A and B are shown apart, each in its own frame.
Chain A
Amino acid sequence: MTALSFTLVVWAISTLAGFLGALTGLGGGVVVVPALTLALGVDMKYAIGASLVSVIATSSGAAAAYVKEGFSNIRIGMFLEIATTSGAILGAFLTGYIGTSALAVIFGLVLIQAAYETVFNAPHEGGPAIQSDTLGDRLRFAGTYPANGMEREYKVRNVRTGFGIMFGAGTLSGLLGIGSGAMKVIAMDRAMKVPFKVSTTTSNFMIGVTAAASAGVYLSRGYIDPRVAMPVMLGVLGGALLGSKVLVHAPVRTLRMVFATVIFALAIEMIVNGLRGKV
Chain B
Amino acid sequence: MKAMDDRRLETMVGNLLRTGVLLAAALVSIGGVFYLLQHHADPVSYRTFVPGADGVRTFSGVVHSALRFESVGWIQLGLLLLIATPVARVVLAVVGFALERDRLYVVVSLIVLVILVASLLRAV
Taking beta carbons and an 8 Å cutoff, which residues of A are in contact with B? 1-4, 6-7, 40-46, 53, 56-57, 59-61, 63-68, 70, 72, 74-75, 78-79, 81-82, 85-86, 88-89, 92, 139-140, 205, 208-209, 211-217, 219-222, 224-231, 233-234, 237
Counted as pairs of residues, one from A and one from B, with CB atoms less than 8 Å apart, the total is: 203
CA distance A214 to B118 in the complex (A): 10
The chain A residue with its CB closest to the CB of B6 is A74
Alpha-carbon gap, A214 to B86, bound state (A): 12
By a CB distance below 8 angstroms, the chain B residues around A60 are 17-18, 20-21, 82, 85-86, 89
> In the complex, how many angstroms separate the beta carbon of B118 from the nearest chain A beta carbon?
8
For this complex, 11 residue pairs linking A to B, each with C-beta atoms less than 8 Å apart, are A2-B40, A3-B42, A43-B48, A61-B17, A63-B89, A89-B115, A209-B90, A212-B87, A212-B116, A217-B119, A219-B57
Establish whether residues B40 and A4, one from each chain, have CB atoms under 8 Å apart when the complex forms.
yes
- Closest Cβ of chain B to A152, distance in Å, is 16
Pair A221/B51 contact, Cβ less than 8 Å: yes
- What is the bound-complex CA distance between A64 and B15, given in angstroms? 5
- Tally B residues with Cβ within 8 Å of A: 65
CA distance A80 to B14 in the complex (A): 19
Is the CB–CB distance between B115 and A82 below 8 Å? yes
Contact of A79 among B76, B108, B116, B122 (CB under 8 A): B108
Tell me the minimal C-beta distance from A225 to chain B in angstroms: 6
> Inside 8 A of B116's CB, which chain A residues have their CB?
85, 209, 212-213, 216
| Residue among A43, A78, A226 making CB contact with B112, cutoff 8 Å | A78
Chain A at the B interface: SS class:
helix
Cβ A226 vs Cβ B76 within 8 A: yes
Which residues of B from 65 to 124 have beta carbons under 8 Å from A?
Answer: 72, 75-76, 79-80, 82-83, 85-87, 89-90, 93, 104-105, 108-109, 111-112, 115-116, 118-123
Q: Pick the contact of A3 from B13, B17, B39 — CB < 8 Å?
A: B39
Contact A217 B11 (CB under 8 A): no
Known: A3-B44, A59-B86, A221-B51. A213 touches B119 (CB 8 A): yes
B93 touches A74 (CB 8 A): yes
- B32 partner, pick from A53, A214, A219, A234, beta carbons under 8 A: A234
Measured in the bound complex, the distance between the Cα atoms of B90 and A29 in whole Å is 23
In Å, the complex CA distance between A65 and B24 comes to 18
List the A residue with the shortest CB-CB distance to B56.
A226
Q: Are A43 and B46 in contact (CB under 8 A)?
A: yes
Collect the chain B residues with CB atoms within 8 Å of residue A4's CB: 36, 40-41
Q: In the complex, which residue of chain A has the Cβ closest to the Cβ of B32?
A: A230
* A90 CB → nearest B CB, Å: 11
Q: Please report the C-alpha to C-alpha distance between residue A11 and residue B42 in the assembled complex, in whole angstroms.
A: 18
* Contact A1:B28 (CB < 8 A) given known A86-B115, A219-B123: no
- Shortest CB–CB separation between residue B60 and chain A, in angstroms? 12
Residues on the A chain within 8 Å of B50, using CB:
222
A208–B111 touching, CB < 8 Å: no
- Bound-state Cα–Cα, A78 to B104, Å: 11
New contact pairs (16) apart from A60-B21, A211-B86, A216-B116, CB-CB < 8 Å: A3-B44, A46-B49, A53-B82, A56-B83, A60-B17, A64-B11, A72-B10, A74-B9, A81-B90, A88-B119, A89-B119, A208-B86, A222-B49, A222-B56, A226-B35, A226-B75
Instruction: Give Cα distance in the complex from A226 to B40, angstroms.
Output: 15
Roughly how many angstroms separate A7 CA and B48 CA in the complex, as a whole number?
18
Residue of A nearest to B7 (CB): A70
B15, B29, B44, B48: the one within 8 Å of A1 (CB): B44
Structural contact, B79 and A229, CB atoms closer than 8 A: yes
